[in-house]
Amino acid sequence: MATLLKCYKPLLSIQLSSIHYSTRTIQVATHRPHPFFKSSSIRSLNSSSPPLIAKKTQGESEEGASKNPLSTNLWLYNTMSRKKEVFRPKVEGMVGMYVCGVTAYDLSHIGHARVYVTFDVLYRYLKHLGYQVCYVRNFTDVDDKIIARAKELGEDPINLSRRYCEEFNQDMVYLHCLPPSVEPRVSDHMTQIVDMIKQIIDNEYAYSVEGDVYFNVDKFPEYGRLSGRKLEDNRAGERVAVDSRKKNPADFALWKSAKEGEPFWESPWGPGRPGWHIECSAMSAAYLGYSFDIHGGGMDLVFPHHENEIAQSCAACRQSNISYWIHNGFVTIDSEKMSKSLGNFFTIRQLESASERIFYIYQTLHDCEDVLRQHEVTALKDSIPPNIMEEINKFQNVFVESMSDDLHTTVVLAALSDPLKTINDLLHTRKGKKQALRVESLTALEKMIRNALEVLGLMPTSYTNILQELGEKALRRAKLTEDQVLRKIEERTEARSQKEYEKSDAIRKELAAVGIALMDSPDGTTTWRPAVPLVLQEQ
């Protein structure tokens, strides 16, 4: 094997508090686990102990647990090992994470939303645990699909891709996803890409043919270890055309020679542009070095994209090593994977459904906020009833155990039911309004739920605004105006006063069918809120 060239130093080494993943020069601040409560000032009436925030993971030895600087162990499913593993960063207290971004040639669909919401939750949870995270998510703005779409629309490919990159970022804001630490684009990193290809050729893992450069998979015996495929079973990937000039049909393009009318960049092999896979190897190395913690994306990227990334990166640098390969599942439509190529996709902006559940959460917190606003915080006692403390501890245990188990968010959301019900009891029932330390209990419960929603990326900037937005979406979906709904409520109220209960029930069912739920309060008033339409409930 030829001598390996010097591996890249990450470009963000100065910006990220001296995190130098390639040179291993580390300056680490004292690491403190982040408790679920930001403050431990609230205590139970019968105990001076703070609420339980973490438990030793079942099956983890005391010795193993002591090696982790955090208050609990985070288990993540690693596609490479095909099992859940305890997360151990390469640098204590710091995490490098690269997630493959979109190929920007159209509006993003809800399959994309699932990818980036998944990794947004992981990003948030790692930060919640106290890690300093460098999160890199790229844009593919040079690609066959972009060029083809630009020709259809008569646009410049780079300009078209730039426009859809901006649209994507708007969608991420809409989904409450945090921006990554950096969002590199292929068109801005041609120097790094060309340098990596040179390195791979010098190390005798690639060959050039008439201006094209191909990776020689036969030179990399470990090819297929991520996907579990045997080399003889592999085929060219989705974006790799069959080429008789290849030494092996599975060889994939690192550089493509320029074709007439297409954008190109100069290189030692002539004008052209990079293949699909090399971009992520070059950009992840540029920002995180060759050895970092997490590489993620959708399951469809396991092969060929991530398989090829591993081969390229290892061929360019002997020290290349990524600890955890993490992939989220597909969104399916009629048992088929959602994709633009199949034409069975819905864009993020077509998501007009507003669930009854999320509206209920925000309405409860909105009502709670209204009550708490009427009380001086300085006048509150630092104690809450034992039953409230027990409920808080119970939820916190569920939160930690579920999130630490491969981000099992559905269990966390389900566990919100009891504390939300308790808040509503304290707010609206006669018994709840008379409970001792009622305001202190509401304060503690609201804070607990708010902290959980922050970690899940579900905390809105304003309860009032989000409730209005969800209501407007429900009305659009139902093809009704709010005035029409209010007239239906008046009609139903009149029917009930006349004891015309069949008519009253018919109005309720009519609205429920289109996703408008009617809520009758003890004082006789009726309000409405978004609900899942009956047809969707049946499905």
Residue 271 maps to a domain: no
For residues 370 and 392, state if they share a domain: yes
- pLDDT at residue number 532: 82
Say if 8 falls within a structural domain.
no
Q: Structural domain of residue 121, as residue ranges?
A: 75-206+217-233+276-328
Residue 341 pLDDT greater than 60, yes or no: no
Range with the poorest average pLDDT among 243-247, 288-292, 355-359, 372-376: 355-359
Tell me, what's the pLDDT at 257?
A: 97
Task: Give the tokens for residue 459.
Answer: 């905390």
Return the CATH number at 417.
1.20.120.640
* Cβ-count burial 394-403 (b if 16+ within 10 Å, e if not): ebbbbbbbbb
Q: With 50 as the cut, is the pLDDT of residue 337 above it?
A: yes
Residue 239 lies in a domain: no
Which residues, including other chains, have CB under 8 Å from residue 461's CB and lie 6 or more apart? none
pLDDT at position 23 over 90: no
> Domain check: are 193 and 223 in the same one?
yes
Residue range 222-263, pLDDT digits in tens: 999 999 998 766 554 445 456 789 999 999 999 999 999 899
450 shares a domain with 469: no
The CA distance from 125 to 404, in Å, is 9
Residues 323 and 357 in one domain: no
In this structure, the answer to whether residues 95 and 189 fall within a common structural domain is: yes
Task: Tell me the residue length of the chain.
Answer: 539
24 pLDDT more than 50: no
Do residues 124 and 187 both lie within one domain? yes
Last residue of a domain, one of 421, 456, 491: 456
In a domain, 23, yes or no: no
Which of 430, 456, 482 terminates a domain? The answer is 456
Q: What integer pLDDT is reported at residue 39 of this predicted model? A: 36
- Do 399 and 451 belong to one domain? yes
Domain count, the chain: 3
190, part of any domain: yes
Residues 421 and 361 in one domain: yes
Point out the domain boundary residue: 267, 297, 328: 328
What pLDDT sits at residue 538?
Answer: 65
In this model, does residue 413 exceed pLDDT 60?
Answer: yes
512-516: average pLDDT: 93
To the nearest whole number, what is the mean pLDDT of the chain?
84
Does residue 201 share a domain with residue 128?
yes
Q: What is the predicted pLDDT for the residue at 330?
A: 64
- Let me know if 161 is exposed, middle or buried by CB neighbors in 10 A (0-12, 13-18, 19+): buried
Q: Quick one: which of 455, 445, 449 has its CA closest to 42?
A: 445
Residue 313 lies inside a defined structural domain of this protein: yes
SS3 (DSSP) at 140:
strand
Instruction: Give me the amino acid identity at 35.
Output: P
> Beta-carbon neighbour count of residue 230 at 10 Å?
9
pTM for the model stands at 0.83
Residue 20: exposure state from Cβ atoms within 10 A (0-12, 13-18, ≥19): middle
Q: Are residues 361 and 509 in the same domain?
A: no
Same domain, 372 and 300: no
Same structural domain, 197 and 299? yes
Average pLDDT over residues 500-506: 96
* 222: CATH: 3.40.50.620
Looking at the domain assignment, is residue 510 inside a domain? Answer: yes
Residue 18 lies in a domain: no
Task: Say which amino acid occupies 191.
Answer: T
